[in-house]
Every structure is written in structure tokens, then in C-alpha cells.
């Protein structure tokens, strides 16, 4: 039989455990911080994709920050105007619309325009090809066409057309995942403060003749766009560039596009 001392010890320990558990439960209830009831409503209003565009790891953290008024409701680009409108109602604040942005690809060479230096048989990703002597594309600055950016986009805003990414401005939330996925840094996020965005679909900084050798649609730094726009387009390091903050002032957009000899100036 079990000794009475042992039984007493077991019962004492059980009693102490129950006592301290009860104390902890009471203290927990007393010290419990009441959660802002708006957090749940805010989280329900958010799209729930946890894309990180707002600067937080997930929608829950963003909802908590909104309830504390630490950040503006217009940071949720994934939800668009509809979500922002719902958030403004929950938080009872007036929200100014942000200037629209879109991801743009600074390369215009599709499968038919790419000059090749070899046959690439490795892993069919841009990162793998880039790290394997640049894959098969002769231009060291051109799109490799293996759709890393399309797979990285959580919103279906990118599709591949003849081996070249096409970005849907209505679906693009400028989350930046496509930017991070491109091993050649060909995608940037640019502001659209008017109906259209005009930009240079090339990233090759080589001199014109060298660019011609590797790509038929690359910028040759002829300077025509600079002359036609009074310097809003400008040539730097053998590559035409545009001052995006002044691009809306270009009145002759079609002329600039049509007179580019390699057709590397395009608009969204």
C-alpha cells in the first residue's frame, strides 16, 4: 500500500497547483488588455492576402496599426479604392487618394527580337539563367523571359506575351514582388499622375553601335526624344531616360513614340 505521507504529499502538490492556477487565471483576467473592437472589423475589411505592400508582415498587424492611428488607410494597395473606402468609414477619417503607380519593364525585346548567343538547357528561371553566364540572351541587360516576375506576382497582374512580361495596370498594386524577383533589375515602380505613363523600354547602357549588335529594339542614345520634349527625356550613360515628375507635361507623346528609331519608347 502507498504510504500516507506520499498520498498527503501528492494531494498537497495537487492542491497547490490548483491554487496557483486559479491565482494566475484571476491575475490574467485583471491585467488583460482589452482589444480595440475596430481591429476585427478592419481585418475583415482588408483583402487578407498578406502581401506586405503596406509595410507590415500581414493584414492583422496592419489592422492593429490602423486602430492605433499609426499609419494611413491608403497603404493597402491590394484592396484598391473599395477597401480604402471601407476603412475610412470604420476609422471615421477622410482619406486623400494617393498618386497611382505601376510596375514598368525596361526592356522591349520579346522572343522575336532577342538575339541569342547559345542554347540554354538549364533550369527555366530567370535567376538560374542569369547566373549561368546570362543564359542564351546575347544582351546582358535584356529580359530573359522565364517568367520569374509573373510567378512572383500575387495578383495576376503579369502575363507572358511572346516571352515578354506584360503588366496590367488595372491589376498591378505595386507590391514590388516583381521588382525583387528580376535578377537584372529591369522592373521599377513609377508614379502615374495622369492618364498615361511614357517610359524607355531598355536598360542597355552600351553605346549605340554595341547595343545594335545585341538587340534590334534597344536604345541607341540618338537624342531625338530629348529634342522633342525639351529635356524631359534626356540621355545619360548612353541611355535615354525620362523625368517622370514632368512626363505629364509632354504634349506630343505620339510624336516622341513614333520618331524613336528603335521604338523603345512606349507608354502604359
233 and 252 Cβ atoms separated by less than 8 Å: no
Range 43-68 average pLDDT: 85
Residue 199: phi and psi, rounded to 5, are -155, 175
The pLDDT, as a whole number, for residue 9 is 67
Sign of the alpha-carbon torsion through 41, 47, 48, 53 = negative
pLDDT at 83: 83
The rounded distance, in Å, linking the Cα atoms of 217 and 142 is 10
Share of the chain above pLDDT 70, in %: 86
Categorize the per-residue pLDDT at 94 as very low, low, confident or very high, splitting at 50, 70 and 90. Answer: confident
Q: Phi-psi category of 211—alpha, beta or left, where left has phi over 0 and alpha has psi -120 to 50? A: alpha
**Tens digit of each residue's pLDDT (9 = 90 or more) over 111-133:** 988 899 989 999 999 999 999 99
Q: How far is CA 223 from the centre of its chain?
A: 31
If you average pLDDT over residues 166-185, what whole number do you get? Answer: 91
> What integer pLDDT is reported at residue 25 of this predicted model?
67
The predicted model scores a pTM of 0.73
The pLDDT of residue 150 is: 97
Tell me what the mean pLDDT of segment 34-54 comes to: 81
Residue 85 pLDDT > 90: no
Residue ranges of domains in the chain: 38-91, 100-267
The pLDDT, as a whole number, for residue 166 is 96
Closest by Cα among 153, 225, 145 to 189: 153
End-to-end CA distance of the chain, in Å?
Answer: 88
Tell me what the pLDDT averaged over the chain comes to. Answer: 86
CATH 3.30.70.20 fits 100-267, yes or no: yes
Mean pLDDT of 216-233: 95
Residue 258 has pLDDT above 90, yes or no: yes
191: left (phi over 0), alpha (psi -120 to 50) or beta: beta
pLDDT at 231 over 60: yes
Report pLDDT digits (tens) over 141-175.
Answer: 999 999 999 999 988 999 999 999 999 988 888 88
Q: Encode 170-210 in three state secondary structure.
A: CCCCCCCHHHHHCCCCCEEEEEECCCCCEEECCCCCCCHHH
Q: How many CB atoms lie within 10 A of CB 152?
A: 17
What's the confidence (pLDDT) of residue 1? 47
Average pLDDT over residues 56-68: 87
Range picked from 12-26, 34-48, 236-250 for highest mean pLDDT: 236-250
pLDDT exceeds cutoff 60 at 184: yes
Contacts of 181 (CB under 8 A, 6+ apart): 126, 127, 148, 149, 151, 152
Query: Options 3.30.1330.10, 1.10.10.10, 3.60.15.10, 1.10.15.40; which CATH number does 38-91 get?
Result: 1.10.15.40
The residue behind cell 535567376 is: 127
Amino acid at each position: 500500500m502507498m504510504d500516507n505521507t506520499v498520498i498527503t504529499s501528492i494531494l498537497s502538490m495537487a492542491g497547490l497547483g490548483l491554487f496557483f492556477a486559479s491565482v494566475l487565471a484571476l491575475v490574467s483576467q485583471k491585467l488583460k488588455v482589452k482589444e480595440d473592437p475596430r481591429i476585427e472589423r478592419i481585418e475583415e475589411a482588408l483583402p487578407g492576402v498578406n502581401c506586405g505592400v503596406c509595410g507590415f508582415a500581414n493584414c492583422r498587424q496592419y489592422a492593429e496599426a490602423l486602430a492605433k492611428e499609426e499609419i494611413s488607410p491608403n497603404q493597402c494597395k491590394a484592396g484598391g479604392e473599395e477597401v480604402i473606402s471601407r476603412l475610412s468609414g470604420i476609422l471615421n477619417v477622410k482619406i486623400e487618394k494617393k498618386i497611382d503607380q505601376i510596375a514598368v519593364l525596361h526592356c522591349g525585346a520579346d522572343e522575336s527580337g532577342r538575339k541569342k548567343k547559345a542554347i540554354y538547357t538549364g533550369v527555366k528561371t530567370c535567376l538560374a539563367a542569369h547566373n549561368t553566364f546570362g543564359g542564351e540572351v546575347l544582351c546582358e541587360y535584356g529580359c530573359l523571359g522565364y517568367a520569374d516576375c509573373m510567378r512572383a506576382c500575387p495578383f495576376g497582374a503579369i502575363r507572358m506575351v511572346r516571352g515578354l512580361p506584360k503588366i496590367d495596370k488595372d491589376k498591378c498594386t505595386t507590391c514590388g514582388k516583381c521588382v525583387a524577383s528580376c535578377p537584372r533589375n529591369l522592373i521599377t515602380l513609377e508614379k502615374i499622375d495622369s492618364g498615361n505613363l511614357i517610359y524607355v523600354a531598355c536598360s542597355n547602357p552600351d553605346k549605340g553601335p554595341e547595343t545594335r549588335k545585341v538587340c534590334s529594339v534597344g536604345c541607341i542614345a540618338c537624342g531625338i526624344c530629348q529634342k522633342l520634349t525639351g529635356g524631359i527625356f534626356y540621355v545619360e550613360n548612353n541611355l535615354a531616360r525620362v523625368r517622370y515628375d514632368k512626363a505629364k507635361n509632354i504634349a506630343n507623346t505620339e510624336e516622341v513614340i513614333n520618331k524613336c528609331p528603335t521604338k523603345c519608347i512606349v507608354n502604359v
